[in-house]
Amino acid sequence: MNKTAAFASLLAALTLITSCTMTNPLLSESTLPYGAPQFDKIRPAHYMPAFEQAIAEAKADIDAITQNPEEPTFSNTIEALEHAGGLLSRVAGIFYNVKEADSSPELEEIAEKLSPMMTEYEMYVSLNEPLFLRIKAVHDAADEFELTTEQKRLLDKTYKGFVRSGALLSSEDKASYSKYSEELSLLILRFSKNALAAANGFKLNLTDEADLAGLPDYVVEMGAATARELGQEGWTFDLSAPSYSAFMKFSDRRDLREQLSTAYATKAVGGEFDNTEICRSIAELRIKISQLLGYDNYAAYVLEDRMAGSVQGVNEFLDKLLKPTLPVAKKELQTILAYAREHGFEGERLEAWDFSYWAEKYRAECFAIDDAMLKPYFRLEDCIDAVFGLAGKLYGISFEERSDIPGYHKDVHVYDVKDSDGKHLALFYADFFPRPSKRGGAWMTEFRGQSIRDGVEYRPFVSIVTNLSKPTGDTPALLTHGDLTTFLHEFGHSLHGMLAQGTYESLCGTNVNHDFVELPSQIMENWGFEKQFLKPFARHYQTGEEIPDEYIDKLIASQNYNAAYYQMRQLSFGLLDMAWHTLTALPETGTVEFEKAAMAPAMVLPSVPGGCQSTTFTHLFSGGYAAGYYSYKWAEVLEADAYSLFQQNGIFDPQTAASFRHNILEMGSREDEATIYRRFRGHDPEPEALLRKLGII
């Protein structure tokens, strides 16, 4: 190509990039306050061009580091790598979060096309030998640089991250690692897609009013609203959390409970959206990757970098909780069975579709309290004000709704979060209601994390996503008490992101060990059982009557109701997780049989015939908790111990709250998590703290 032609080609490319940048809201500078994402302008067609340009720019950033003629330093290598691919981080932070909360066939198709592109870029970085050599040079000469504690932490994590991603592998093994990683990313995508489709694929439509026996008015209204949305007659119930859990608790129709329970338990087991073989394929690839890296199994690989430290550490931890909990859980189950028999139940044992129903009836009689009594006092808008107010009382922050900043869906509300001195801290996106395009559950995430670059601080864009009951007719959105604690839980994660203080995004906010990340969320649930928190806002949505003291007293008295049973349920998930991820080769048994055997030591109820948790267990197979599900219980131990300090000093004590904010919420992973916990609490936590809190010992 001659010089004239080359110049013309370059000019054309620059013109195209400029044109794309001008018309693509993902590539142009945001005109919104704080540089917020321009969700009102973003369309599915914008994503692929944005990713293509962002990946090209990210590779150029990496090339600039590897081709730098200067000797490797912390600044020109480690810090430069931390900031590389800024556009890619921004575009990916928007796309993948929207796909989880408001998916569509177009976004799913884009995700499939993106999967090999993103994996190839990750391999371009993690298996880049010249890049690793520069990182290693800085790591080996660390003592020669005057690094801060935060910089040392970044250097150490960067070096270990590359080693754990195959940097020391031979060329042949790097090729295998790259191949396995690409296959794994595609399988994870298929798993997630199938899980969502399977959950959305079942609807229980009832047209006979007799089928509604036992259901409170709010559940009936929920079913009617769902039917109207689907253009159906009568009442429709689905597998989303508000619908499913309410029906299982209150329906007098055992046959319908069994039908719904079976549908829930067998999601993605066989049929069009079958995940049984995908579970095995994901597990097999994780075995190959971990063994390629020199580990016995995937759990050993993951846990090397966690607070628990090892497979043995996790197994011992689970065992310390399981042994004292199991006999108490069995006793709880026998109590419910005896109550059920006294009230007409004729079965020899309680099945999976019986427990919630009879447990709720016993709870209502024993403690004279149930969801139907409490829901009228927990109007969503009042709960939002109360949770925001709690953050204000503890940490001095405030929330101002911003109608000028768009969300990614009409149900999303955006808030400007400010510190006590008026300084902007974060944007907070709240997305509360279920829809077919949203995956089940509740979670917190970020569109942008906190960081400082070139002296400019970038504050985070944090999102909370839940599936709470919608308003129906003239009835506003009302929460169960469980919904309120879920809100508090995810809001705790949000505080961890919003209050982050640090230089490097990869060390800020929720970028901490998985067995530490649930501490800020789980500790927030405690306030949901405190009279001082509940009384000021819990008022009947129709009469304005303040929630009676006796209701709160009963709620507190019932706090540990069936605590051992629910702990065993979580422990069974932890055992399942470890069973999948301590494999060194695939078992001969299929997914359903393998799961049943893995969970058996912690099962107190018989499983649903043909049911399988694994096939929709996104935490393990597509959500980042592989070999880490134990961390929920690990964090419960932390929070039980941590909250005892609030109880000792006062649940709104400003000094305790300031210490928790500074030592936990602001700190991220700038220091070792065990160190920062000890700094707050003064000692290491013990499992006994949780067992005492739950009344098990």
Cα separation, 225 vs 237, in Å, equals 10
Residue 675 lies in a domain: yes
Buried b (16+ CB within 10 A) or exposed e, 305-339: ebbbeebebbbebbebbbebbbebbeebbeebbeb
656 and 645 Cβ atoms separated by less than 8 Å:
yes
Cα separation, 52 vs 60, in Å, equals 13
Mark residue 74 as left, alpha or beta (left: phi above 0; alpha: psi -120 to 50; beta: remaining): alpha
* Closest to 398 measured CA to CA, from 389, 407, 386: 389
Residues 486 and 418 in one domain: yes
pLDDT in the model for residue 590: 96
Residue 457 lies in a domain: yes
Residues 588 and 687 in one domain: no
Phi/psi of residue 603, nearest 5 degrees: -85, 130
Q: CATH number for the domain including 582?
A: 1.10.1370.10
User: Sorting pLDDT into bands at 50, 70 and 90, what band is 361?
Assistant: very high
Give percent of the chain with pLDDT exceeding 70. Answer: 97
Neighbour-count burial of 673, counting CB atoms closer than 10 A to its CB (0-12 exposed, 13-18 middle, 19+ buried): buried
Residues 639 and 593 in one domain: no
Cα separation, 492 vs 660, in Å, equals 12
Q: Which long-range contacts (CB under 8 A, 24 or more apart) does 595-604 make?
A: 599/572, 599/573, 599/575, 601/322, 601/575, 602/322, 602/326, 602/568, 602/569, 602/571, 602/572, 602/575, 603/568, 603/572, 604/326, 604/329, 604/330, 604/333, 604/565, 604/568
DSSP character at residue 469:
P
Residues 356 and 379 in one domain: no
Q: Which long-range contacts (CB under 8 A, 24 or more apart) does 295-300 make?
A: 296/584, 297/581, 297/582, 297/583, 297/584, 298/581, 298/582, 298/583, 298/626, 298/627, 299/578, 299/581, 299/582, 299/627, 300/582
pLDDT in the model for residue 269: 98
pLDDT at 14 over 80: no
Domains identified in the chain, total number: 4
Token pair 């909780």 is found at: 321
Q: How many CA atoms lie within 13 A of 434 on its CB side?
A: 25
Residue 186 lies in a domain: no
36 and 405 Cβ atoms separated by less than 8 Å:
yes
Residue 7 lies in a domain: no
pLDDT in the model for residue 695: 92
pLDDT at 663 over 70: yes
481 and 528 Cβ atoms separated by less than 8 Å:
yes
Cα separation, 697 vs 520, in Å, equals 25
Residues 547 and 568 in one domain: no
630: which 2 tokens? 């134990």
Would you give the distance in Å from CA 207 to the centre of its chain?
36
Q: What is the pLDDT of residues 403-451, one digit of tens each?
A: 999 999 999 999 999 999 999 999 999 999 999 899 888 999 999 999 9
Q: Considering only residues 466 and 6, tell me which one the structure prediction assigns the higher pLDDT.
A: 466
Residues 6+ apart with CB under 8 A from 491: 387, 391, 444, 464, 521, 524
DSSP 98-127: HHHHS--HHHHHHHHHHHHHHHHHHHHHHT
Task: Print the domain residue range for 240.
Answer: 202-265
Strands 451-453 and 456-458: antiparallel
pLDDT at 17 over 90: no
pLDDT in the model for residue 537: 97
Cα separation, 67 vs 168, in Å, equals 21
Q: What is the pLDDT of residues 227-274, one digit of tens each?
A: 999 999 999 999 998 899 999 999 999 999 999 999 999 999 999 999
Residues 605 and 642 in one domain: no
Would you give the distance in Å from CA 657 to the centre of its chain?
24
pLDDT in the model for residue 440: 82
Residue 14 lies in a domain: no
Token pair 């801060």 is found at: 148
Q: What is the pLDDT of residues 633-654, one digit of tens each?
A: 998 999 999 999 999 999 999 9
pLDDT in the model for residue 22: 54
Q: CATH number for the domain including 141?
A: 1.20.1050.40
pLDDT at 532 over 50: yes
Q: CATH number for the domain including 520?
A: 1.10.1370.40
Would you give the distance in Å from CA 620 to the centre of its chain?
11
Q: What is the pLDDT of residues 490-510, one digit of tens each?
A: 999 999 999 999 999 999 999
Residues 6+ apart with CB under 8 A from 521: 444, 489, 490, 491, 492, 493, 496, 635
Residue 181 lies in a domain: no
Please tell me which residue in 79, 82, 490, 505 is annotated as part of the active site: 490
User: Sorting pLDDT into bands at 50, 70 and 90, what band is 1?
Assistant: very low
pLDDT at 314 over 70: yes
DSSP 287-325: HHHHHHTT-SSHHHHHHTTSSS-SHHHHHHHHHHHHHHH
pLDDT at 12 over 80: no
Question: Quick check: helix, strand or coil at residue 141?
Answer: coil
The mean pLDDT value for 587-597 works out to 97
Residues 478 and 442 in one domain: yes
* CA R_g for the chain: 26
Neighbours of 12 (CB within 10 A): 10
Residue 497 lies in a domain: yes
Cα separation, 104 vs 96, in Å, equals 12
3-state secondary structure 355-423: HHHHHHHHHHHHCCCCHHHHHHHCEHHHHHHHHHHHHHHHHCCEEEECCCCCCCCCCCEEEEEECCCCC
User: Sorting pLDDT into bands at 50, 70 and 90, what band is 401?
Assistant: very high
pLDDT in the model for residue 202: 96
pLDDT in the model for residue 18: 46
Query: Which among 629, 647, 677 is the end of a domain?
Result: 629
Question: Quick check: helix, strand or coil at residue 456?
Answer: strand
Side chain identity at 539, as an amino acid letter? R
Residues 448 and 489 in one domain: yes
In the residue annotation, 229 being an active-site residue is answered as: no
Question: Quick check: helix, strand or coil at residue 82?
Answer: helix
294 and 170 Cβ atoms separated by less than 8 Å:
no
Phi/psi of residue 550, nearest 5 degrees: -65, -30
Q: How many helices (H) and strands (E) does the chain have?
A: 29, 9
Residue 451 lies in a domain: yes
pLDDT in the model for residue 529: 95
pLDDT at 2 over 80: no
Please give the torsion angle defined by the CA atoms of residues 181, 184, 189 and 190, in that order, rounded to the nearest 10 degrees: 150
* Closest to 577 measured CA to CA, from 607, 551, 598: 598
Residues 430 and 533 in one domain: yes
Q: Considering only residues 382 and 17, tell me which one the structure prediction assigns the higher pLDDT.
A: 382
Residues 304 and 439 in one domain: no
Mark residue 100 as left, alpha or beta (left: phi above 0; alpha: psi -120 to 50; beta: remaining): alpha
DSSP character at residue 613:
S
413 to each of 303, 384, 388, 429, 476, how far by Cα in Å?
38, 11, 14, 6, 16
Q: What is the pLDDT of residues 127-154, one digit of tens each?
A: 999 999 999 999 999 999 999 999 999 9
The mean pLDDT value for 119-133 works out to 94
Question: Quick check: helix, strand or coil at residue 37?
Answer: coil
What does the mean pLDDT of the chain come to?
A: 94
* Closest to 569 measured CA to CA, from 592, 597, 609, 599: 599
Strands 204-206 and 443-448: unpaired
Give percent of the chain with pLDDT exceeding 90. Answer: 90
Residues 390 and 455 in one domain: yes
pLDDT at 103 over 60: yes
User: Sorting pLDDT into bands at 50, 70 and 90, what band is 11?
Assistant: very low
User: Sorting pLDDT into bands at 50, 70 and 90, what band is 305?
Assistant: confident
569: which 2 tokens? 């349920």
Q: Strand 443-448's sheet: what is its strand order?
A: 398-401, 413-418, 424-431, 461-465, 443-448
DSSP character at residue 66:
H
Residues 441 and 358 in one domain: no
Q: What is the pLDDT of residues 150-175, one digit of tens each?
A: 999 999 999 999 999 999 999 999 99
